[in-house]
Structure formats: C-alpha cells, structure tokens
Chains A and B, each alone.
Chain A
Amino acid sequence: MDLSTLTEYLPLYAQAAWLTLWVGVAGIALSFVIGVLCAAVRHFRIPVLRNVAGVYVELSRNTPLVVQLFFLYFGLPKLGILISSEQCAVIGLAFLGGSYMAEALRSGLEAVESIQTQSALALGLNPVQTLRHVVLPQAVAISVPALAANVVFLLKETSVVSIVALPDLVYVAKDLIGNDYNTVEALALLVGFYLVLLLPLSLLFAWLERRLRADGRRAKSRAPKTLGSWAVKEAAHA
C-alpha cells in the first residue's frame, strides 16, 4: 500500500463520505416521517389510508433498493417526472426506509398492552391524552432498538446510490480502480471510510440495545405471573 497515494485520495473520499452521509441523513429523516404516518394510519385503522399504507409497505419491503432506484431514476422521467440524482437517492432511500420505520413503530405500538390503555381510560383520561401520556412514551421506548437498527441498515443501503450517478464512496472507489489501478489503496479507503461512518453507530446502538434489554429482563423477572401462588418470588424491597 502506498501512503502517498492514500493521502492523495483522501480528500476525494472525504467529499464522497460527506455526500453519503448527507444523502443518508436526509433519506433516514424522511423515512422516519413516512414511518410515523404509516404506523399511525395502520394502528388507528383509518379507512382507505391504511390500505394504501399496507400496499406501500409490502411493495417497499419486497423489492431491492437498486431496483427501486432504477425505476425512479430511469423510468419516471419518461412520465415527465424529472428529478436530480440527489433527490432520487433521497427519495429512494425514504421509499425503502419508510416501511422499515413504520413496522418498527407499529410493533412498538402493538407491544403496549391494551390493558394499559384501559387503565388510563379508567382514570378518566380521554383517548388523545391516553395516547399522548401513556401509549406513545412506552411505544417509542420499545421501538428504539428497532429504529436504531434501521438507521444503520439504511446508512449501509446508501452504498448503492452510485447507480444514479452520485459520486459517493463506492463511485469514487470504482473510478480510482478503473482509472489508476490503485486497487489496494482505493479499497482500503473505501472500507476505512465506511468503518468510520458505521462502526461508532453500530457500537452505540448495540450498547443501547443491550442496556434496554437488560432493563426489560430485570423488570420482567420482578413481575409475578398471573397465577397467584405460582408467582415468581420477588425481591421484597428493591
């Protein structure tokens, strides 16, 4: 590996990494918005919209991002819809990510047991207050690990945006391999930059999930089972 080649390429990669990050953040933010909307209309069974959301989720989850991007970038202009490479990448990522976010949020909402809702209603809270003060805080907390995993997943998925002619990390690497034959340096920088982008996030989220799961386990082991005398012995005073 040639150090001077590495330093020569470094700015190119930094620029490309910036683009990857930018597209990733924008796409993920948009995914989250789509996810919230879809989860809401499906959870509250809003007629028509829930069916639209259902179809969207299936389409999005059962097709690869590469194919979605090809259709957006090469297909849509034939309908007169012209979008830039950046817009295309962000929209494509959001189209893919929206369904993943929606499913994560929906399973969070479903995990909050209906009897929690009932006990809030029994106190006189109206349905909106129940959602705001009792269901949502719990649902979001439950969804966090899945949402975090989706963020990492989507950031990894941005690696394909070079197919819509965006000069991202993969694009730069391919370019340098093809033109300069400095394969080793080009690949080392590709891997290095992705590690810089992904490793801290992966570690952070893994740690977060372990912590949340440990909390959940502790809480569960304290909760007695429903049959009185079969109850798990509890610590008398925590």
Chain B
Amino acid sequence: MSDTPQVLRLPKSQPVLRLDSVVKRYGERTVLDGISFDVAEREVIAVIGPSGSGKSTLLRTVNGLEPIQGGSIRLDGEEITAKGTDWSKIRARVGMVFQSYELFPHLDVMGNLLLAPVRVAHTDKAEARERAMRWLERVGLADRADAYPKELSGGQKQRIAIVRALMMQPEVLLLDEITASLDPEMVREVLDVVLELAEEGMTMLIVTHEMAFARAIADRVLFLDGGKIVEQGEPEAFFTHPQTERAQRFLDTFSFTKAREPQGLAR
C-alpha cells in the first residue's frame, strides 16, 4: 500500500478549524447568525438543514468565497478572516468540491488535476502527474486521464473533482452537496470515495441531503436552521432521537410513512 497516495496527516493538538461567532449578511438579511464550532483533526462533520438554512454559505466562508461580517475563522490556530489574508495560500490548504463538479471544460482530466499543483504549489510536473495517476487508479478512472469533462458521466466528473481537490493535499476538505446533481445510480460511486477518505482520516466538512450517508460517515452532525446551529451531536443519537422540535420536523420530511394517513391526498 506504500505507493498508493494517502491523505496527508499532521500531528496536531489544536483543532484544524475553529469558527467563532461567524456572522454573514447579505444586505439586511442575516444568513449566518453567530456560528461557532471546532473541527478536530480527522473529524468528519456533516452539516444538514433545510434549504436556505445557510449550509453552503457556511462552507464558502471557510475558504473566503464569502467574506464574513462578524466573528472569526481559524485554520490551525491562525486567524484567516483577519484583514490582509492571502486567500490563495489558504485555499491551497483547504480543498473544496462543488455540487456542479465545475471541472474546467477546456482542459482534459489530467489538465484539470495538474493545474493547481503545477501553477500554485509549483510541484514538479512529472511528480504531480504520477500522483494524479495513482489517485485516478484509486477512484477507478485511470483510463480516463485523457478524456474531456464533456465525455464523462456525472459520477465520473464528481470523482475527478474530488481528486482535483486532493491533489493539493489539503488539510481539510469541504464538500458542498456533491451528490445533489447526480443520477441516483451514480451517487454510490461518489460516496464510496468519500467514505474511504474518511476511513483514512481525512478531515471533512460535508454539506449533504443524503441522510443515510451523513449518518454513516459523520462523527458529528450539525443541524442548521435560520443561520444558527439548532442542534448538534452524534449521528446515531441525532437521527433516532433529535432533541429539538425543528430537527424532528426536518427529519420527518424525509420519511413517507406519515403521508399515508386516511385524510391524505386521495380523493
């Protein structure tokens, strides 16, 4: 196994990420209303909640795609939301995968994978290519290295997008609804990759609508509503016995048993 790429692990005592009272506003509207939590090394956190609850925005504040209006975010103890942060440097350490894959359509798979390592990390091209090939083998796409994004299925594209983020050997990986655009039969192949990463100790912050997946992968679940963390805890406890009424109502929308009451839609 020594020649298969592994998730980068650093010995650390402090949390990888620390969010402290993060506030995000769009004009008058408050999207994130004082969010605080830590992400420990090797921890996998699933962020769930109704649409519009601020989940994706939360993820995007962590790598500076959304500037925040209050509070602070620390990466390895260093405040990254301070003025004068070089976001390019931070982003090179924080991987992100988007719902819509966002592979670069004008570059082939290898071009997509090499762009950041070569241009940003200044890795030797041959070395980066070798690493890319090993990752591609791991996700079962070694034969697609020369393909262009438009020649790939959604599931393939998303696996490539994950590998593209991993090529920078990030300390933490942000996954934003990465299966929401996929056909049901392709969800599995993508989630399997993520499960493997979790087993290897990749630190991850995952926004998802796949409740079964969140339950299987997360060390901790954060339930967001109205820009606040309404509830958090161990996945088993959260999914079987949510403590708040709002979380209960949210989880109910995923089960169909209640709709079968006699006064249902029939007639």
Residues on A facing B (Cβ under 8 Å): 115-116, 118-126, 129, 133-134, 137-138, 141, 215, 218-219, 222-226, 228-229, 231, 233-238
Quick check: B63 and A122 within 8 Å, CB to CB? yes
Q: How large is the interface on B (under 10, 10 to 19, 20 to 34, 35 or more residues)?
A: 35 or more
Interface residues of B in 38-95 (CB under 8 A from A): 63, 65, 87-89, 91-95
- Min CB distance B31 to A, Å, is 17
Determine whether the beta carbon of B183 is less than 8 Å from that of A124: no
Within 8 A of A (CB), among B127-157: 147, 150-154
Q: B183 and A233: CB pair below 8 A?
A: yes
Task: Mark interface residues in B97-112 (1 if CB within 8 Å of A CB, else 0).
Answer: 0111010111000000
Structural contact, A229 and B65, CB atoms closer than 8 A: no
With A141-B106, A231-B182, A233-B183 given, is the CB distance from A123 to B164 under 8 Å? yes
Q: Is B21 an interface residue (CB 8 A)?
A: no
Contacts of B232 in A (CB 8 A): none
CB distance from B146 to the nearest CB of A (A): 13
C-alpha gap A88/B180 in the complex (Å): 58
The answer for the CA separation of A229 and B147 in the assembled complex, in Å, is: 26
How far is A226 from B180 in the complex, measured between Cα atoms in Å? 7
* B97 CB to nearest A CB, Å: 9
Complex contact B119–A116 (CB within 8 A): no
Q: Which residues of A contact B96 (CB under 8 A)?
A: 119, 122
B89 touches A124 (CB 8 A): yes
Neighbouring B residues of A226 by C-beta, 8 Å: 99-100, 180-181
Are B168 and A236 in touch, CB under 8 angstroms?
no
Q: Say yes or no: A224 contacts B115, CB within 8 Å.
A: no
Contact B98 A115 (CB under 8 A): yes
Say whether B106 contacts A228, CB under 8 Å. Answer: no
Q: Give the distance in Å from the alpha carbon of A125 to the alpha carbon of B107 in the complex.
A: 15
Contacts of B65 in A (CB 8 A): 118, 121-122
CB atoms of A237 and B153 under 8 A apart: yes
Known: A228-B187, A235-B153, A236-B153. 6 other contacts (CB 8 A): A124-B116, A124-B168, A219-B105, A222-B150, A228-B182, A229-B183
Q: Which of A119, A122, A224 contacts B181 (CB 8 A)?
A: A224
Bound-state CA distance A123–B187 (Å) is 24
Q: Please, how many angstroms separate the alpha-carbon atoms of A26 and B258 in the complex?
A: 73
CB <8 Å contact, A224 and B89: no
Q: Does B165 contact A (CB under 8 A)?
A: yes
Q: CB distance B87 to A120 under 8 Å?
A: no
Q: Which residue of B lies closest to A134 (CB)?
A: B104
A115 CA / B98 CA spacing, docked (Å):
9
Residue of A whose beta carbon sits closest to that of B94:
A122
Provide 27 A-B residue pairs closer than 8 Å at the C-beta atoms, listed in order of the A residue: A118-B102, A119-B96, A121-B87, A123-B115, A123-B116, A124-B89, A124-B92, A125-B88, A125-B115, A125-B119, A126-B120, A133-B115, A134-B115, A138-B106, A219-B105, A219-B150, A224-B154, A224-B182, A226-B99, A226-B100, A226-B181, A228-B183, A229-B183, A231-B181, A234-B154, A238-B147, A238-B153
Say yes or no: A228-B88 contact (C-beta < 8 A), given A115-B102, A122-B65, A125-B116: no
Q: Across the interface, which residues of B come within 8 angstroms of A126, CB to CB? A: 88, 120
A119 near B152 with CB under 8 A, answer: no
Say whether B264 faces chain A, with CB atoms less than 8 Å apart. Answer: no
In the complex where A123-B165, A137-B106, A218-B150 touch, is A228 in contact with B119 (Cβ < 8 A)? no
Known contacts A122-B96, A123-B115; is-contact A234 B104 (Cβ 8 Å): no
A residues less than 8 Å from B94 (CB atoms): 122
For the complex formed, measure the closest distance between the CB of B68 and the CB atoms of chain A, giving whole angstroms: 16
Contact with A along B176-209 (1 / 0, CB 8 A): 0001111110010000000000000000000000
Q: Distance (Å) between the CB of A17 and the closest chain B CB? A: 38
The interface residues of chain A lying within 8 Å CB-to-CB of B106 are 137-138, 141
B89 contacts across to A, CB distance below 8 A = 124
Q: Are B181 and A228 in contact, CB atoms less than 8 angstroms apart?
A: yes
Identity of the chain A residue whose Cβ is nearest the Cβ of B187 in the assembled complex: A228
B239 → chain A closest CB, angstroms: 21
Instruction: Please give the distance in Å from B205's CB to the nearest CB on chain A.
Output: 13
B182 touches A116 (CB 8 A): no
Distance, CA A164 to CA B99, complexed state (A): 58
Chain A contacts of B154 at CB under 8 A?
A: 223-224, 231, 234
Residues of B within 8 Å of A237, CB to CB, are: 153
Q: Please, which residue of chain A has its CB at the minimum distance from the CB of B154?
A: A224
Residue of A nearest to B161 (CB): A119
Chain A contacts of B180 at CB under 8 A? Answer: 226, 228
Closest to A130 in B: B88
The answer to whether B88 and A124 touch across the interface, beta carbons within 8 angstroms, is: yes
